[in-house]
Amino acid sequence: MALSTLLATLLCTIVLPVLLFLVAVKLWEVYIIRSRDPSCRSPLPPGSMGLPFIGETLQLILQRRKFLRMKRQKYGYIYRTHLFGNPTVRVSGADNVRQILLGEHRLVSVQWPASVRTILGSDTLSNVHGALHKTKKKAIMRAFSREALELYIPVIQEEVQASVKGWLARDSCVLVYPEMKRLMFRIAMRILLGFEPEQIKTDEQQLVEAFEEMIKNLFSLPIDVPFSGLYRGLKARNFIHSKIEENIKKKVLESDGGSNHRDALQQLIDSSKKNGEPFSMQAIKESATELLFGGHETTASTATSLVMFLGLNPEVVDRLRQELVDKEEHGMDIRNLDIKSLEQLKYTGCVIKETLRINPPVPGGFRVALKTFELNGYQIPKGWNVIYSICDTHDVAEIFPNKEDFQPERFMTEISADSSRFQYIPFGGGSRMCVGKEFAKVLLKIFLVEVVTKCHWTLLNGLPTMKTGPTVYPVDNLPTKFTSYLQN
């Protein structure tokens, strides 16, 4: 009797729940597969849909790049999954990505996960479409024109020099990734949002912490309840908005239209006035927050990767220094850089390109299928999310031999635009290509000039493990010892 009671208890408490769970998972798979478009004869891509409703979101959040690489190795360049509450097809490889990026408004449309849309807002450049997207993009592009970039250079040099000086003054190691985020945050606040240095000093710590919290929860389950990721992200976002609103009000009061240059935030305010639109404080705040995210998070990631790759490849540092010596001998003043002199630093540009090839800061982009279409023999059902992968596409690109090696010189030989167009896409592509890519290149070149002419550095932990959340970063924050480099 006791044995039968024990068996019954075991059945009810362990075996039955496990069986029910397995049945639920199977029914979930069947439900998703039946959402395929019956009018299309092509099969769904291979893959798995994970747990009911949650899908494979948790595995992605916890494992990031490891999860993505494992899926690609198992299922190939196109596979199905379920992420952030939606059935999703993940796409990599130049030919496949080409169709997605050139299919904007015809096959697909940009659509980031619900949590991203909720936190960043629906009026941001990455979320609007059609004529509104063109208008916003045009306004922001003015802030990244050649003339505007020329005016940014002294500010960028000033901030980078101050940071490098601080790193050299420390006896202890520098945690590079947090330092880069602070540096790039200050630059973005001054250049993109027009904050004065005194304002930044007053609010920097609180703003950086709030931004960290917002970014950490940007990709989360779309559940807004106390203590959830989305709840924490929105709370941090609201604090950032309050500080940006103070600056917007100040700009509106002081604006007289007579300035030769406007920062990106002022461009958005002016554009709203010129188009006769009612001034929307919320829309401007959302756009400013997106600019701050795009303008500092990605450059901080890449600058950290630059320090890492150069620390592991001292011969590349030597060649960078030699390029600068050669340019100085031909009259370049590296203490007062300008656009023309930066364009002459070809090898420096190749180092940045190679860093972006191996560690693109943004791993991919989100779209939604506007209609059912075929991609390399598989159907992509209408309404499903489509993620094109930048990091995977770089990993499988045929034009780059010895992919694991850090070889900036591979970019010294001009690669055919046709062959590289979708095999190398660190800034995305098509009509949604990153609007700040030229700003990023200028900033990163200035950073490299300052750091290689003033510093030696040693990575204290060697090659770190990299994670993505949402941009690529080293899990150990890249502890590094900087010492002074004195030229002979």
Contacts of the segment 456-464: beta carbons below 8 A, 24+ positions apart: 456/482, 456/483, 456/484, 456/485, 457/307, 457/310, 457/311, 457/481, 457/482, 457/483, 458/311, 459/307, 459/308, 459/311, 459/312, 460/173, 462/312, 463/308, 463/312, 464/308
Name the amino acid, one letter, at 233. G
Task: Provide the token pair at 147.
Answer: 């003339």
Residues 6+ apart with CB under 8 A from 229: 115, 216, 217, 220, 221
CB 56 within 8 A of CB 81: yes
Find the farthest-apart pair of alpha carbons in the chain and give their distance in angstroms, rounded.
97
Exposed / middle / buried, residue 5 (Cβ in 10 Å: 0-12, 13-18, 19+): exposed
Distance CA 37, CA 134 (A): 32
How far is CA 121 from its chain centroid? 17
Say if residue 434 carries a ligand binding annotation: yes
Q: Residues comprising the binding site?
A: 434
Q: Residues comprising the binding site for heme?
A: 434
